[in-house]
Amino acid sequence: MIFRTSENNILAVGSIWGGDGLDFISTLNRLESSYNEINIQLHTYGGSVFDGNLMINAMENSKSKITLTVIGIAASMGAIALTAVKNVKIVDNGYIMIHRPSSGVFGNADDLESESRLLRMMDADFEKRLIARTGKSKEEVKEWLSRDTWFSAELALRNGLVNEVIPSIVEPIYIDEGADELGELEMYNRYACALLTEPKVWDSNKQDNNFNLNMKQLLITALALTSVTAQSSDTAVADAVNEKFRELQASLDLMKQAKVKAENDLKAYKASQITAMIDQASKKAVQAFTEDERKMYQNIGENSGIEALAHVLATVGKPAQGPDISGQIGKGGKEGREAWSFDQWQKEDPQGLEKMAVDNPEAFKKLFNEKYEK
């Protein structure tokens, strides 16, 4: 089989011979190191089951997302290879052929029996893969494998062998292998194609250059680098990226420092405002606040806010009106307070409201917010 690559594309054409599995693994690994998505174009009449299995295993275990497109024929082991990839496409004039594995062997009865056992194991593997891929019953898959079963593109789509049928695109590629290496059939195909189309030379060196330039340009654009271009050396681009990260880190450190300073300034301003409000209220009170009273009002301001403290301090020094106890006789003086509003607390028991702000700030906040509809 012949393998050719261009950027993230692999062209795989010809029969699968012994050793092609290792060549495919090497080709796929090389592209995996540079690309997260890989496209494989396949045209094969089948071949070695063992090397085909190597190709299947490589595709199934690939870290890249693989799309496989049948550009002509996927027959025999080539059809089984389709089961390794989730996303399989076929050109509208492509074909797939499925049959049981076969082999030729020379030797004694033991040799023939051993070969027969191997073929039956291969049969079972083919059945398992096709059932998993298509969702068909074992009996239907066995029927497919019992002879050369051909599928057109549309028939392959209906039976779950492929995911999509696409228009055929002829884009021949000039391959410089000799006639002996290609074989009679492949040589004829290449010669006939060359008569009808202009050869296209595949530049295998271009892919790495394009990839490096694209990666550099992505970094330059994303980080807004101005000192380098896509044509700059890898070292220059790396230095520019590191310098940009240092600038961003320095900017982040400055913003963190500014945030901490702003939070501290706000906290200090709030504390000074609370102290000033307590001092002013203490001067207006009949008797100056004691240290414990100042701490109580300080806690109200810190826990419930400046506005709550202002309303509490507004009641200081005012004579407390006697509570309406007509509905509480025989029930205890504190029963029924659960339904009191903020205004009722201020009217009936302002000292109790102050105590609530210290002992139960959540309940105090709830009353305060209900009054002012916050």
Q: Give the residue numbers annotated as catalytic, written as ranges.
A: 76, 99
Backbone angles phi and psi of 301, in degrees to 5? -65, -40
Nearest C-alpha neighbor of 312 from the set 266, 362, 278: 278
357, exposed or middle or buried, with CB in 10 Å at 0-12, 13-18, 19+? buried
What gap in Å lies between CA 271 and CA 274, rounded to an integer? 5
Q: What is the DSSP letter of 217?
A: H
* CA dihedral of residues 224, 230, 236, 239 (deg, nearest 10): 30
Q: What is the 3-state secondary structure (H, E, C) of 67-108?
A: EEEEEEEEECHHHHHHHHCCEEEEECCCEEEECCCCCCCCCC
* Helices 350-359 and 306-314: angle between axes, nearest 10 degrees: 150
353 vs 361: CA distance, rounded Å = 10
